[in-house]
C-alpha cells in the first residue's frame, strides 16, 4: 500500500468501497489481523517496521495493519494526508488537546460545544493547569478579545447542538490563524461527507465515529484528520497514553465507511423532509434545521455544508417540556435515545438530558426552548417517520 493510492481518482462512493486496504489474495475486505505483536526473521526487518511508525506493524499500540488500512481510507475520504483512529470520539479529542496544550497554555472554544468536550476542558484545568475561554458561538464578533499571547488552540464546532446554528468555519479558522493557533473542529454532526473543514482552513478535523462514520449505533470510535505536520505528535500521544482502536473496531469502521455516503445522504434527505413538513404542523412552534430557508444561519449553511444539512433537526412543541416529553413517549418508529447519525432515527429531549444541567434560565440564554425535541433522522422510509411524528403530535 503506498501513500499515492490516496489520490482521489474516483468519486466518494467508489473511494468509500474501494479505498486503500491490505492486499490479500483478492479479498474485498481488509483481513482482520488480530495480533498484539509482530515477529521478524531479521533485526533489520523489525527496525524497518518501527521506522514506518503508524504505517508499520511492530506492536499493536503503535499501529497495526487493520487500523492503518482504515486510516488511509478515512484520509482519502476527508481529502487529507493523515487520519488517526481512536476507541471513542472523546479519545480523539482528548488526545489532540493533550498534544497541543501544555500547563499554563490557553484554548478558545465555542460555546455551546459538546458536553464531553466541556468536561474535558474543566478536567484539564484542574489536573494540568490548562486555561480556556468559552466564546458565544452565535456572536463571532466577540471572539477576538478572547485570544491571549499564550492561546495555542481555537476549537470550533458547527452545526451546534441542539439549535443547529451554523458558524462561519472559514472566518473562524482565519481568526485562529491570525492569532497563531492550531484550529481544531468537531465535525461530527455534519460528517466527513457533509462538511470539509480542512478546505476551509481548519488544521484538525475531529469526529465521534460513533455517529455517522460508524453509523449503526453498535460501536464507539473516534477520528482525527489533517496533515502529518499536525497529527504526527498526536500519534505519539496516542502511543504514550494507549487509546488506539483495536483490529476488530478498525475493521468495523472500514465496513461502515463503504456505505457512509449512502447512509448520510439518506439521513440528510429525511431530516430536510421532516423539518419542512414540521414547519406546517399546528402543534409545532418552531423548527430548527439549517436546511430551512427560515433558519437564521441558512445562507451560511448553504455556503459551507454539502450533500444536505446533516441528520439532526430540532423542533419546539407547543406547551413546553411536558408536552415535548409526551410526544417523545408516544413515538414508536423513532426511538427515544441520545445519539445521532445512525441508521435508526432517535429522538431526545434537551431539557431533560443533554442540557438539563443549564436549568431553565441557562437554556433560555442559550436559545433552547423548554419544549425542544431533537431528532436524528435515520434511513427508514420518510413516510413512516412522518406518520410516527404525526401520531405522536396527536
Ligand atoms: C458523541 C459526540 C462526541 C463524543 O464522542 P464519543 O464517541 O461518544 O466519545 C463528541 N462530539 C460530538 C459532537 C458528539 O456528538
Query: Between 12 and 61, where is the model more confident?
Result: 61
Radius of gyration in angstroms for the set of CA atoms belonging to the chain, rounded to a whole number: 21
Alpha helices in the chain (DSSP H): 12-18, 43-51, 65-78, 89-100, 115-128, 169-178, 191-194, 228-241, 247-257, 260-278, 298-304, 320-330, 359-365, 382-393
The helix/strand/coil state of 350 is: coil
Handedness of CA 240, 242, 248, 250 (dihedral sign): negative
Q: What is the mean pLDDT of residues 54-65?
A: 93
What is the 127 CA–ligand 1 centroid distance (Å)? Answer: 22
pLDDT surpasses 60 at 388? yes
Q: What is the pLDDT of residue 18?
A: 83
Q: What is the pLDDT of residue 216?
A: 96
What is the 63 CA–ligand 1 centroid distance (Å)? Answer: 23
Which of 208, 212, 342, 376 has most ligand 1 atoms within 8 Å of CB, for mutation?
Answer: 208
- What's the chain's average pLDDT? 94
Q: What is the pLDDT of residue 29?
A: 86
Q: What is the pLDDT of residue 79?
A: 96
Q: What is the pLDDT of residue 17?
A: 85
Q: 118-156: string of b/e by CB count within 10 Å (b at 16+)?
A: bebbeebeeeeebbbbbbebbeeeebeebbeeebbbbbb
Kindly report, residue by residue over 71-130, the tens digit of the pLDDT.
Answer: 999 999 999 999 999 999 999 999 999 999 999 999 999 999 999 999 999 999 999 999
pLDDT surpasses 60 at 2? no
For ligand 1, residues with CB inside 6 Å are: 88-90, 114, 116, 186, 188-189, 208, 210-211, 220, 222
Q: What is the pLDDT of residue 16?
A: 86
> Which CATH architecture best describes the domain 12-257?
3-Layer(aba) Sandwich (3.40)
**Do residues 135 and 109 lie in contact, with contact meaning Cβ atoms separated by under 8 Å?**
yes
User: Which H or E run includes 370?
Assistant: none
Q: What is the 3-state secondary structure (H, E, C) of 283-343?
A: CEEEEECCCCCCCCCHHHHHHHCCCCCCCEEEEEECCHHHHHHHHHHHCCCCEECCCCCCC
pLDDT surpasses 60 at 1? no
What is the 307 CA–ligand 1 centroid distance (Å)? Answer: 21
pLDDT surpasses 90 at 276? yes
Residue bearing the CA closest to ligand 1, atom 6: 89
Kindly report, residue by residue over 184-223, the tens digit of the pLDDT.
Answer: 999 999 999 999 999 999 999 999 999 999 999 999 999 9
What is the 51 CA–ligand 1 centroid distance (Å)? Answer: 33
Q: What's the burial of 43, exposed, middle or buried (CB within 10 Å: 0-12/13-18/19+)?
A: exposed
Kindly report, residue by residue over 165-176, the tens digit of the pLDDT.
Answer: 999 999 999 999
pLDDT surpasses 70 at 26? yes
pTM for this predicted structure: 0.94
CB atoms within 10 A of CB 293: 9
Q: What is the pLDDT of residue 354?
A: 74
Give me the percent of the chain exceeding a pLDDT of 70: 97
pLDDT surpasses 50 at 182? yes
pLDDT surpasses 70 at 68? yes
In sequence order, what are the residues at sequence separation of 6 or more whose Cβ sits closer than 8 angstroms to the Cβ of residue 263? 212, 215, 343, 379
Residue bearing the CA closest to ligand 1, atom 4: 89
Q: What is the pLDDT of residue 6?
A: 53
Q: What is the mean pLDDT of residues 23-29?
A: 77
What residue ranges do the domains of the chain occupy?
12-257, 261-393
What is the 35 CA–ligand 1 centroid distance (Å)? Answer: 28
Q: What is the pLDDT of residue 8?
A: 64
Kindly report, residue by residue over 218-247, the tens digit of the pLDDT.
Answer: 999 999 999 999 999 999 999 999 999 999
Query: Between 315 and 4, where is the model more confident?
Result: 315
Q: What's the burial of 295, exposed, middle or buried (CB within 10 Å: 0-12/13-18/19+)?
A: buried
What is the 220 CA–ligand 1 centroid distance (Å)? Answer: 9
Which of 111, 116, 162, 346 has most ligand 1 atoms within 8 Å of CB, for mutation?
Answer: 116
Q: Which atom of ligand 1 is nearest to the CA of 157?
A: 13
pLDDT surpasses 90 at 4? no
Q: What is the pLDDT of residue 5?
A: 47
> Which CATH architecture best describes the domain 261-393?
Alpha-Beta Complex (3.90)
Amino acid at each position: 500500500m503506498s501513500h499515492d493510492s490516496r489520490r482521489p481518482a474516483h468519486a466518494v462512493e467508489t473511494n468509500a468501497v474501494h479505498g486503500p486496504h491490505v492486499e490479500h489474495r483478492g479479498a474485498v475486505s481488509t483481513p482482520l489481523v488480530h495480533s498484539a505483536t509482530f515477529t521478524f526473521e531479521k533485526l533489520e526487518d523489525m527496525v524497518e517496521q518501527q521506522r514506518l511508525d503508524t504505517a508499520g506493524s511492530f506492536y499493536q499500540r503503535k499501529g497495526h495493519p487493520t487500523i492503518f488500512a482504515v486510516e488511509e481510507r478515512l484520509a482519502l475520504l476527508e481529502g487529507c494526508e493523515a487520519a488517526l483512529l481512536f476507541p471513542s470520539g472523546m479519545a480523539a479529542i482528548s488526545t489532540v488537546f493533550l498534544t497541543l496544550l501544555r500547563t499554563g497554555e490557553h484554548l478558545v472554544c465555542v460555546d455551546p460545544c459538546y458536553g464531553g468536550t466541556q468536561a474535558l476542558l474543566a478536567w484539564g484545568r484542574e489536573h494540568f493547569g490548562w486555561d480556556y475561554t468559552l466564546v458565544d458561538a452565535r456572536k463571532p464578533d466577540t471572539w477576538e478579545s478572547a485570544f491571549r499571547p499564550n492561546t495555542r488552540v481555537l476549537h470550533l464546532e458547527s452545526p451546534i447542538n441542539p439549535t443547529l446554528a451554523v458558524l462561519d468555519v472559514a472566518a473562524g479558522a482565519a481568526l485562529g490563524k491570525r492569532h497563531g493557533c492550531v484550529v481544531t473542529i468537531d465535525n461530527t454532526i455534519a460528517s466527513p461527507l457533509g462538511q470539509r473543514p480542512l478546505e476551509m482552513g481548519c488544521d484538525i478535523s475531529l469526529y465521534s465515529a460513533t455517529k455517522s462514520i460508524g453509523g449503526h449505533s453498535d460501536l464507539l470510535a473516534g477520528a482525527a484528520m489533517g496533515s502529518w505536520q499536525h497529527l504526527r505528535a498526536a500519534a505519539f500521544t496516542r502511543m504514550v497514553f494507549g487509546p488506539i482502536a483495536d483490529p476488530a473496531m478498525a475493521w468495523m469502521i472500514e465496513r461502515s465507511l463503504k456505505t457512509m455516503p449512502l447512509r448520510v445522504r439518506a439521513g440528510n434527505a429525511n431530516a430536510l423532509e421532516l423539518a419542512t413538513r414540521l414547519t406546517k404542523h399546528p402543534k409545532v412552534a418552531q423548527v430548527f434545521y439549517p436546511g430551512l430557508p427560515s433558519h437564521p444561519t441558512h445562507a451560511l449553511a448553504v455556503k459551507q455544508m454539502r450533500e444536505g444539512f446533516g441528520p439532526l433537526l430540532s423542533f419546539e412543541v407547543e406547551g413546553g417540556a411536558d408536552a415535548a416529553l409526551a410526544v417523545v413517549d408516544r413515538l414508536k418508529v423513532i426511538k427515544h435515545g441520545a445519539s445521532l447519525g445512525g441508521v435508526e432515527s432517535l429522538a431526545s429531549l434537551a431539557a431533560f438530558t443533554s442540557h438539563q444541567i443549564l436549568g431553565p434560565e441557562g437554556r433560555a440564554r442559550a436559545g433552547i426552548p423548554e419544549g425542544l425535541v431533537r431528532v436524528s433522522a435515520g434511513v427508514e422510509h420518510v413516510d413512516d417517520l412522518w406518520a410516527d411524528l404525526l401520531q405522536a403530535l396527536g
